[in-house]
Amino acid sequence: MNFLGNILWLVLGGILVAFFYFAVGLLMCITIIGIPFGTQLFKLGGYALWPFGHELVDRPGEPGCLSIVMNLLWILLGWWEIALVHLVFGLVFCLTIVGIPWGIQHFKMALNSIFPFGKEVR
């Protein structure tokens, strides 16, 4: 079921979401200051490619001081808008019974895109 869900996810726009994560991640990595943010966007992009059967979970010993500060900077610099987009897509997908699994994945991605530092994909 996870494989089928991931294939349908890619067809229904997941590939586009992942592409934007990777493209903006590359742009962020141009500057030295943007590299930590770019790596988080790569992590979210990888998760956006295959969300069914995977989770973003806290790494052992997290959240630490550095990840809390970086998550705060992440929010203050406007990356909360990613979460807002995922919330809107989640609501749109949940309008139909068939789209509920994809809406739930968008809700998970919205929650994880608010605080990406200190997490890993499992």
Residues 6+ apart with CB under 8 A from 27: 34, 38
Please say if the pLDDT value at position 1 is more than 90: no
In which domain, by residue range, is 21 found?
A: 2-121
Q: Which residues contact 108 (CB under 8 A, 6 or more apart)?
A: 51, 55, 56
79-104: per-residue pLDDT in tens? 889 999 999 999 999 999 999 999 99
Closest to 116 measured CA to CA, from 26, 40, 29, 34: 40
pLDDT per position as a tens digit, 23-44: 999 999 999 999 999 999 999 9
The arithmetic mean of pLDDT across residues 45-63, rounded, is 88
State the pLDDT at residue 45: 93
Buried b (16+ CB within 10 A) or exposed e, 63-85: eeeebeebbeebeeeebeebbee
Give residue 105's pLDDT band: very low, low, confident or very high (50, 70, 90).
Answer: very high
Q: How many domains does the chain have?
A: 1
pLDDT at residue 115 is higher than 80: yes
Q: What pLDDT score does 79 carry?
A: 86
User: What number is the average pLDDT over the span 37-65?
Assistant: 90
